[in-house]
């Protein structure tokens, strides 16, 4: 499927999915102005305070990419292996949630491709994701996330923001999207997998 993009939407939130003209960030976040990041303030005051997301060392990528390349699909697991994988997933999600409750910094991708440090944290009920760049704050309700795209899935996503295989894009139901870039494929898939699990838990 193709997710199309309309014009407009400056700052961190790009337009996607047949967006209407002249619909700004204030349509998604009532009473707020479009996210504008002053380029002179991109460096945090104290880099030591920037807590980044940890990827488990034993995290293995079982993504759409690997399944497609293998041709035969997933390898069947016995009951013991399934239980072990499920326990590993539960621990990974728990650690992910603990980090997001405290707040972590991710690199958000602006519409011109610039990366900006963005503090991300969730509320205790795991229903709302808060994004903060300097004094500007945006809230995303997880139930409003329509799709979580990463890797090759981004090729079907027509956005104005320049993205690559290390990016993950959260597509909202109201034609807005926000993208993050990671250092490697493991980091990308770890974030995408955990976010998909948390999103599915609210259905």
Task: Give the pLDDT confidence of 159-171 residue by residue, as tens digits.
Answer: 778 889 999 999 9
Residue 194, Cβ neighbours under 10 Å: how many? 21
Q: Are 97 and 126 in contact (CB under 8 A)?
A: yes
Task: Give the pLDDT confidence of 70-85 residue by residue, as tens digits.
Answer: 444 556 778 888 888 8
Task: Give the pLDDT confidence of 160-200 residue by residue, as tens digits.
Answer: 788 899 999 999 988 788 999 999 999 999 999 999 999 99
- What's the confidence (pLDDT) of residue 168? 95
Split at pLDDT 50, 70, 90, the class of 133 is confident
Characterize 102-130 residue by residue with b for buried, 16 or more Cβ atoms within 10 angstroms of its Cβ, and e for exposed: eebbbbbbbbeeeebbbbbebeeebeebe
Task: Between 42 and 88, name the one with better pLDDT.
Answer: 88
Stretch 35-41: mean pLDDT: 38
Q: Are 122 and 129 in contact (CB under 8 A)?
A: yes
* E strand or H helix at 129: strand 128-133
**81 burial level (CB within 10 Å; 0-12, 13-18, 19+):** exposed
| Average pLDDT of the residues of the chain | 75
Measured at the alpha carbon of residue 74, what is the angle toward residues 72 and 76, in degrees to the nearest 5?
110
CA 193 to each of CA 114, 138, 187, 198: distance values in angstroms, whole numbers, following the listed order:
25, 22, 10, 9
Rounded Cα distance between 77 and 94, Å, is 23
Split at pLDDT 50, 70, 90, the class of 60 is confident
């Amino acid at each position: 499927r193709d997710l199309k993009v309309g014009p407009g939407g400056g700052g961190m939130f790009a337009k996607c999915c047949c967006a209407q003209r002249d619909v700004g960030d204030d349509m998604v976040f009532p009473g707020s102005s479009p996210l504008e990041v002053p380029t002179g303030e991109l460096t945090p005051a104290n880099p030591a305070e920037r807590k980044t997301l940890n990827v488990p060392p034993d995290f293995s990528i079982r993504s759409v990419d690997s399944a497609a390349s293998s041709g035969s699909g997933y390898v069947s697991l016995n009951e013991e292996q399934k239980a072990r994988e499920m326990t590993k997933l539960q621990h990974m999600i728990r650690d992910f949630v603990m980090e997001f409750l405290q707040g972590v910094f991710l690199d958000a991708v602006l519409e011109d491709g610039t990366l900006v440090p963005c503090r991300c944290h969730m509320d205790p009920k795991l229903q709302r994701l808060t994004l903060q760049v300097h004094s500007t704050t945006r809230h995303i309700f997880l139930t409003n996330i329509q799709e979580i795209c990463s890797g090759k899935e981004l090729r079907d996503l027509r956005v104005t923001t320049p993205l690559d295989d290390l990016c993950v894009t959260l597509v909202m139901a109201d034609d807005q999207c926000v993208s993050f870039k990671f250092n490697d494929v493991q980091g990308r898939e770890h974030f995408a997998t955990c976010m998909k699990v948390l999103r599915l838990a609210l259905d």
